Homo-oligomer: A and B are copies of this chain.
Amino acid sequence: MTLSERNIIEHIRKIAGRPSVQGLIRGIGDDCSVFGGPGPWLVSTDMLVDGVHFNRDWHPPRLLGRKSLAVNLSDIAAMGGIPRYILLSVSLPPGLSSEWLFQWLGGVAEILSEYDCALIGGDTVTGSELNISVTVLGEQHPAGSLYRSGAGAGDTVYVSGVLGSSAAGLAILKHMEHNAEQGLKDTWQTLVDAHLDPVPQIQTGQILCASGWVTSMQDISDGLATDLSHICKESAVSALILAEKLPNHPVLDDVCEALNIRKLDCILRGGEDYQLVFTVRKGGEKTVEDLLQGQGKTAYPIGTIEKGRGLFLEKSPGIRQEITFQGYEHLA
């Protein structure tokens, strides 16, 4: 099968059709798509480049299709919103097989279905490298949006799940590339999955938004250190996080020892966990924890918001270390 633009567009039209999505007035097929509804609307966009943000050598196309959308849905989760529409552009290098492409689109279709989103636009072009650009539109939660600004002294800092799994998963994949004969340890698969197929915390974001107790929130894409620093900067506060409180998957220790990587680096700077980091106003801790638990979700308190500026880590009682902006950035 040839990778003609028309082939691809026909295929995309098939997976795009989700008449159940309310408010969609005109989908793919005209100069613009048209959507209505009360709003307000949330919008975010990400660009993913082969070899920079993902690696086709170890990223199965279906999972990459899922992740291409998931990382954008995570931005909607970070505001507490409801994802609705996706626009998906892709630049295809000449050597890319149609099998790869259709598996990738299969992963895209899965996420559309799982989160009840409609694909309402996009572009397919040729280029020398695979480049995936996704725009997501969501509706604001009736309770409003949660911003990075809003944290206040005395708030408790929480994360919605374990950290460092994705970074460790990536380290495992890189290790396996040169040591394939060792085989992947069964127990390590969870961390590999965390990297290849992250789960956007849509439901958790909405629960937190509705609770009325959350003062700021963002998703952890670049690592806790970087992302919590954004909250501190935008809220004009500082944060103190306690190393002993930082949650990680039980197998992380084993992986870090085996691969000789620093566990705290994975947790603080690893990035791509796509959990939420958020702050809860004093007095609301139990309410928020109970609300999440009632829906089978967990939240881990990891520290507190304080006056001042900067992000600090307490490794042992009384010993603080500033870790502001020590997460990694994709672009140096």
Contacts and interface: CB of A to CB of B under 8 A. Distances in A.
B40 A87 contact: no
Contacts of A51: 128
Interface string A108-138: 0000000000001111111111010101011
A29 B148 CA distance: 9
A54 to B, nearest CB: 12
A46 B87 CA distance: 10
A273 interface: no
Interface string A46-76: 1111011100000000000000000000111
Contacts of A148: 29-31
Interface string A68-98: 0000001110110100010101110000000
Contacts of A53: 125
A30 B91 contact: no
Nearest to A276: B31
Nearest to A124: B331
Number of copies: 2
Given A39-B39, A129-B128, A44 B25 contact: no
Contact of A135 (B45, B125, B218): B45
A36 interface: yes
Contact of A125 (B33, B52, B125, B127): B52
A200 B149 CA distance: 37
A165 interface: no
Interface in A11-53: 25-26, 29-37, 39-49, 51-53
Interface of A: 4-6, 25-26, 29-37, 39-49, 51-53, 74-76, 78-79, 81, 85, 87, 89-91, 120-129, 131, 133, 135, 137-138, 140, 145, 147-149, 218-219, 234, 329-332
Given A4-B332, A31-B76, A31-B218, 14 more contacts: A25-B145, A30-B234, A33-B44, A48-B125, A49-B131, A53-B125, A89-B133, A91-B131, A123-B133, A124-B331, A128-B129, A131-B133, A133-B133, A135-B135
